[in-house]
Amino acid sequence: MAYNQELLAKTPIIRFKEQNFYSLRDHCLKRGLLFEDETFPAETYSIGLPLLKGRNLSNLTWMRPKDLLKGKSEPHFILEGASRFDIRQGEAGDCWFLAALGSLTQNPQHLQRILVDQSFSHQYAGIFRFRFWQCGQWVEVVIDDRLPVLNEEYLFVEPCNKQEFWPCLLEKAYAKFHGSYVNLHYGYLPDALMDLSGGVVTNISPHVSSPDLVMMVKKAAEAGSLMTCGTLAGPMSESTRMANGLVSRHAYTVTGAEQVWYRRSWEYLIRLWNPWGKVEWRGPWSDGSPEWQEIYHQQKSQLYEHKDDGEFWMSCRDFQENFSCLFICNQVPISLDHGNMPHERWSQMTFKNHVIPGNTAEFQRDVQYLFSVPDSMESSNVVVSFNIMPQNLKAKDKMFPLNFEVFKTKVWLKLCGLSGMATATLPGFLLPHLSVVFTPLATPMAWTCVSVFTGCQFSLAKSCYRYAPRTSQQASDAGNILAVLV
């Protein structure tokens, strides 16, 4: 199957909970009703009691946008285009989702696939729909537009423009997709990237050289990639604002990178956005810092904006000291060191919902997948993406291994480059057998996700190969999807 930009658009759309948007909308329009979603009702269990702990629930109400505006103005789905600056995170710890969403807004064509063409004026019936990618297919989620409000304030995402409601409604649809708002409280960054794009996620080490980091981010931005990153854990178990302005255990959107001439040498900068919509880095190259006064005026006018909008610049050195991971997601595999990979067309093999045998004591070896590499290349020519569906893992506070092995048929494979791998081990008795191993925490946190995802790029010679995924039984039972792109 050829893998190109048209592939995802041609994929059949699955109806979540078998709800047909058009049938439900037309039913309401004929009867003069506003849709009320019985599958995700306006009840506390759709929120999740842990998010309401210690609150006076007598002041909890669900209100439609028109009622929230109290007749002072008309609600709009989108005003003057969708932007990351439309979003302001609420009570749920879903920065992992909002950071990915913030990145998606930089690619309007792909954002429209998620938002769909809808409004509060044409055929309005209190019903909206959004689409997410899961297990190799688009899933359409239908919601009503009642939003949870506590003490007359938004409980979750708050629109920066009070008349614009696409961020609130999209978050509600994603909460329904996951079962409740509380299930968005901490999650896995690549999950959100893949759910919003259906793309291939690469885990990049933030600790590459500053010039290489800037080059990778710029290459990814040119390719329309989604980019997110996460800060290191602080002394507290929850996300905490630190003295330098960053938030520990928190996800950010990577929105750009640049190099500037500063004090007779190049300074390498990266630009980030905080889904809180405020609270920014306070160190060098932050808003109002003196470094901006020492670069060329033309470059400053192109890069610098002093706004309290959650977006800021920082040096790559400071980024590397404060961030633990960087994820780049693109629909077509790209090389981040030598431009676009030389393929004009990619072939993709997808295997989903296969049970992968294994246990924590010893990996079994009886499930393997075959693929062939038609041409040898110096740059990466094979991409493997292996994802565990996390829904059944979130309640399990356990460690489990996640790895895979690739080898030539009849001939053991020589170890190739493993850029982006969290941990790579090559047991001596298996040499030269390729073995990539992860042993992450299964407990989800806002900035990490390696317990459900692994993916990397290889440069393989022309031949036939076998791919053997290995994981524990609890991860196997959660379901999985494997994609091999050649």
Query: Which pair of structure tokens corresponds to residue 455?
Result: 């993916």
pLDDT digits (tens, 9 = 90+) for 12-48: 899 999 999 999 999 999 999 999 999 999 999 999 9
Domains of the chain by residue range: 10-197, 200-327, 341-485
Distance separating alpha carbons of residues 209 and 357, to the nearest angstrom: 39
- Above pLDDT 70, what percent of the chain? 71
Helices 95-104 & 108-115 angle (0-180, nearest 10): 120
Which pLDDT does position 51 carry in this prediction? 93
Predicted confidence (pLDDT) at residue 470 exceeds the cutoff of 90: no
Distance separating alpha carbons of residues 281 and 284, to the nearest angstrom: 8
As annotated, the active-site residues are 95, 250, 274
pLDDT digits (tens, 9 = 90+) for 148-168: 999 989 999 999 999 999 999
Q: Taking the CB of residue 483, how many other CB atoms lie within 10 A of it?
A: 19
pLDDT-derived band at 364 (thresholds 50, 70, 90) equals very low
Q: What is the pTM of this model?
A: 0.81
pLDDT digits (tens, 9 = 90+) for 188-237: 898 899 999 988 888 888 989 999 999 999 999 988 999 999 998 766 66
Question: Are the beta carbons of 48 and 181 closer than 8 angstroms?
Answer: yes
- Alpha-carbon Rg for the chain in angstroms: 23
CATH code at 200-327? 3.90.70.10
Q: Which of 7-11, 84-88, 220-224, 276-280 has the lowest mean pLDDT?
A: 7-11
- The residue among 296, 234, 241, 247 whose CA lies nearest residue 273 is 247
| Between 352 and 76, residue with greater pLDDT | 76
| Between 380 and 365, residue with greater pLDDT | 380
Which pLDDT does position 54 carry in this prediction? 87
pLDDT-derived band at 396 (thresholds 50, 70, 90) equals very low
- The fold of 341-485 is Jelly Rolls (2.60.120)
Local structure of 75: helix, strand or coil: coil
Question: Are the beta carbons of 453 and 418 closer than 8 angstroms?
Answer: no
pLDDT-derived band at 479 (thresholds 50, 70, 90) equals low
Which pLDDT does position 471 carry in this prediction? 63
Predicted confidence (pLDDT) at residue 422 exceeds the cutoff of 60: no
Q: DSSP letter at 190?
A: H
pLDDT-derived band at 74 (thresholds 50, 70, 90) equals very high
Predicted confidence (pLDDT) at residue 439 exceeds the cutoff of 60: no
Which pLDDT does position 183 carry in this prediction? 94
The beta-strand segments (E) located in 182-299 are 200-204, 226-231, 251-262, 265-273
Predicted confidence (pLDDT) at residue 136 exceeds the cutoff of 50: yes
